[in-house]
């Protein structure tokens, strides 16, 4: 399988003001390394507020100007420069944003779906295509003439998906498509994502909903305090925790209500207090002095990648 | 035994659409009760009515068959977003002590470190903040906790930690807990019994 996208040691930080003129630096993403292959769904799993959306915005090149970004990204082995990002976004790589809040409230849906096009004939062509795609997602013809506030939650989600599909993208980044949805809508979203993969689109699913990740993805990358700590095949999450290697990933599996709701002590610190050394040291029962001094590198073990000096291998 | 009762509760944000229709509900302080419903079914609205954050409803909320008196409300609400219900200019110590001053032992049981007391809400993680928000609600005068999706935004590991501390405390001090969630697996795991809001709601 061909590698479509590669993200190497991406870090994103912000300098912010607090209490007047004092400054502090917030490292929201410290080391994010993932790759995406053709025809796969990769889930990036992290708790809410962990800066997962920044990954999406980083790949698309739409981060705010005060963000400090380091690391390299490649699309089909070509370095993803700012120029290339601008060329690809909305065409080859598109985003399914979190909510309708990303839509312009004063603009009809159909004009937002196609984007700004000056040429009349090109515009009409695009509108025709938009109607076709809306129809495929069972959206009524009248939806195109509606404004965002007239959409129900389920309709809005379909509008966002079909908009993302309009330019035949190769990669779709779906940013938290499920929170706040009820069970039926979540199931529909899961079907939609698998359907995208069947159409030959690769998906990066950014989520904190582990259930949705397990039901849709081929691989899961686990984000902890801004570090990718493990990338594993989704099947390793399904029956038992034997093939999960990082202590946090194991704890996460055991903590699910259906897997025993097991208690692990410790707590996930804030981004202002990321420890030196391994990010998981506060909670880890296997830690040694080595873990407190230096961040472990991401190493390959079997088909998994893991960031731990003492991975748990059964 | 303490009982929390809601009688004939009806409420709508506008007169055309009633969210809640003639709801009757009872629980006592020995229970960990689950309340399940789809998004938009009125779960959060019902929570706000039980805890006095909405007061323009029809019907009665009764504690031990008496209406709720002014002053500290023994029925406390915990929200999904702790950062939205804390004064960003107060430090965590002041935020907690506005309600009460828990002992070192209780702080430990909730995994709260004293060094966090000097920090501001924006300097703690979501899980750390939620611990404060829960402990603040567990004032000794509290009889019932209404927990509205309090771990939805946290990872599974933190979710277990939060529920473990809260439910142990509630059992020990006889506080009734209403666990409101759309996660049926979670409700099955931690509650004695779960009711459906749609079953209570007469449409």
User: Structure tokens of A313?
Assistant: 């291998």
Here the ipTM equals: 0.83
Q: What share of chain B is helix, strand, coil (3-state, %, to 5)?
A: 35, 25, 40
What confidence tier does B125 reach under pLDDT thresholds 50, 70, 90?
confident
Do A49 and B153 lie within an 8 Å CB cutoff? yes
CA distance to partner chain A, nearest, from residue B8 (Å) = 26
| Interchain proximity B39–A255, CB inside 8 Å | no
Per-residue confidence (pLDDT) for residue A154, from 0 to 100 = 75
User: Among residues B93, B95, B92, B55, which one has the least CA distance to residue B73?
Assistant: B55
Domain ranges of chain B: 3-85+142-200
pLDDT of A121-156, one tens digit each? 999 999 999 999 999 888 888 999 999 888 877 788
Distance of CA A214 to the CA centre of its chain: 14
Q: Give the residue from B42, B115, B118, B125 with the most A CB atoms within 10 Å of its CB, the best one to mutate.
A: B125
pLDDT digit string (tens) for A150-203?
A: 887 778 888 998 899 898 999 999 998 877 677 777 888 899 899 999 999 999
| List of domains in chain A | 3-101+170-217 (3.40.50.300)
Specify the pairing of strand A202-207 against strand A171-175: parallel
The C-alpha torsion from B100 through B106 and B112 to B117, rounded to 10°, is: 30
The number of C-alpha atoms within 13 Å of B20 and in the hemisphere containing its C-beta is: 29
Quick one: DSSP state of residue A89?
A: B
For residue B158, give the nearest of A258, A262, A267 by CB distance: A267
CA distance B155 to chain A (A): 5
Four-way CATH pick for B3-85+142-200: 3.90.220.20, 3.30.70.270, 3.40.50.720, 3.40.50.300: 3.40.50.300
Q: How far, rounded to the nearest angstrom, does the alpha carbon of residue A192 sit from its chain's CA centroid? A: 16
Residue A10: CB partners within 8 Å, gap ≥ 6? Answer: A29, A31, A32, A33, A55, A58, A69, A70, A71, A72, A73
* HSE of B3, CA atoms in CB hemisphere, 13 A: 9
| Helical (H) or strand (E) element with A47 | none
CA B49 – CA B148 distance, rounded (Å): 12
Helix (H) or strand (E) holding B8: strand B3-11
Select from A241, A267, A282, A281 the least CA-distant residue to B158. Answer: A267
The beta-carbon contacts of B13-20 under 8 Å, at least 24 apart in sequence, are: B13/B45, B19/B45, B20/B45, B20/B46, B20/B49, B20/B57, B20/B201
Among B153, B163, B190, whose Cβ lies nearest the Cβ of A48? B153
* B178–A contact, CB cutoff 8 A: no
d(Cα B91, Cα B116) in Å, to the nearest integer?
Answer: 9
Pairing of strands B176-181, A93-96: unpaired
- Residue B113: phi and psi, rounded to 5, are -95, 140
Q: Of A240, A268, A233, A274, which Cα lies nearest the Cα of A256? A: A240
- Give the count of beta carbons closer than 10 Å to the beta carbon of residue A9: 14
The H or E element that residue B64 is part of is none
Q: For residue B131, what pLDDT is reported?
A: 95
B66: three-class secondary structure by DSSP: strand
For residues B149 and B139, give the distance between their C-alpha atoms in angstroms, rounded to a whole number.
Answer: 20
Tens digits of residue pLDDT in B96-105: 999 999 999 9
* Helical (H) or strand (E) element with A213: helix A210-216
Question: Is residue A210 a contact partner of residue A272, using CB atoms and an 8 Å limit?
Answer: no
DSSP three-state, residue B20: strand
Report the share of chain B in percent with pLDDT over 90: 77
Note which residues in 50-109 of chain B have CB less than 8 A from chain A: none
What is the pLDDT, as a whole number, of residue A16? 79
Handedness of CA A256, B128, A275, A53 (dihedral sign): positive
Tens digit of pLDDT for each residue in A285-314? 899 999 999 999 999 999 999 999 999 887
Instruction: Name the token pair of A183.
Output: 């069970």
CA-CA distance, A307 to A247, in Å (whole number)? 10
């Amino acid at each position: 399988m061909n590698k479509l996208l590669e993200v190497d040691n991406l870090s994103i930080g912000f300098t912010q003001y607090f209490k007047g003129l004092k400054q502090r630096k917030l490292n929201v993403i410290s080391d994010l390394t993932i790759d995406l292959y053709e025809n796969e769904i990769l889930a990036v799993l992290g708790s809410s507020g962990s800066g997962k959306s920044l990954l999406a915005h980083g790949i698309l090149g739409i981060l705010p100007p005060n963000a400090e970004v380091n690391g390299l990204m490649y699309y089909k082995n070509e370095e993803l420069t700012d120029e290339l990002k601008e060329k690809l976004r909305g065409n080859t790589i598109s985003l399914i944003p979190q909510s309708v809040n990303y839509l312009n409230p004063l603009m009809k849906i159909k004009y937002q779906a196609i984007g700004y096009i000056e040429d009349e004939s090109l515009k009409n062509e695009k509108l025709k295509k938009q109607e076709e795609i809306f129809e495929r997602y069972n959206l009524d013809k009248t939806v195109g003439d509606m404004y965002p506030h007239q959409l129900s939650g389920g309709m809005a989600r379909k509008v966002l998906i079909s908009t993302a599909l309009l330019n035949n993208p190769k990669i779709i980044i779906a940013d938290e498509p499920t929170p706040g949805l009820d069970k039926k809508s979540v199931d529909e979203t899961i079907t939609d994502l698998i359907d995208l993969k069947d159409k030959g689109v690769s998906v990066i699913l950014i989520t904190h909903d582990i259930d949705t990740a397990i039901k849709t993805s081929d691989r899961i990358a686990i984000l902890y305090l801004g570090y990718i700590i493990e990338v594993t095949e989704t099947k390793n999450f399904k029956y038992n925790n034997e093939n999960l290697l990082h202590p946090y990933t194991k704890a996460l599996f055991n903590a699910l209500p259906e897997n025993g709701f097991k208690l692990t002590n410790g707590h996930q610190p804030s981004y202002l207090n990321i420890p030196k050394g391994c990010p998981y040291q506060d909670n880890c029962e296997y830690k040694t002095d080595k873990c407190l001094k230096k961040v472990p590198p991401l190493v390959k073990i079997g088909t998994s990648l893991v960031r731990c000096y003492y991975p748990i291998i059964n | 035994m303490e009982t929390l009762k809601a009688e004939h509760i009806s409420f709508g944000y506008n007169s055309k659409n009633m969210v809640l229709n003639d709801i009757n509900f009872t629980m006592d302080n020995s229970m960990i009760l689950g309340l399940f419903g789809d998004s938009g079914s009125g779960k959060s609205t019902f929570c706000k009515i039980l805890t006095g954050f909405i007061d323009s409803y029809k019907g009665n909320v009764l504690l031990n068959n008496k209406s709720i008196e002014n002053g500290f409300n023994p029925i406390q609400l915990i929200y999904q977003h702790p950062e939205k219900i804390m004064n960003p200019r107060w430090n965590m110590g002041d935020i907690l002590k506005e309600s009460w001053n828990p002992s070192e032992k209780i702080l430990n049981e909730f995994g709260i470190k004293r060094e966090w007391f000097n920090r501001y809400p924006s300097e703690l993680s979501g899980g750390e903040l939620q611990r404060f928000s829960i402990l603040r609600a567990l004032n000794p005068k509290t009889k019932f906790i209404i927990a509205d999706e309090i771990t939805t935004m946290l990872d599974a590991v933190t979710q277990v930690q939060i529920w473990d501390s809260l439910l142990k405390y509630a059992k020990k001090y006889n506080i009734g807990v209403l666990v409101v969630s759309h996660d049926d697996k979670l409700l099955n795991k931690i509650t004695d019994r779960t009711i459906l809001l749609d079953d209570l709601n007469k449409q």
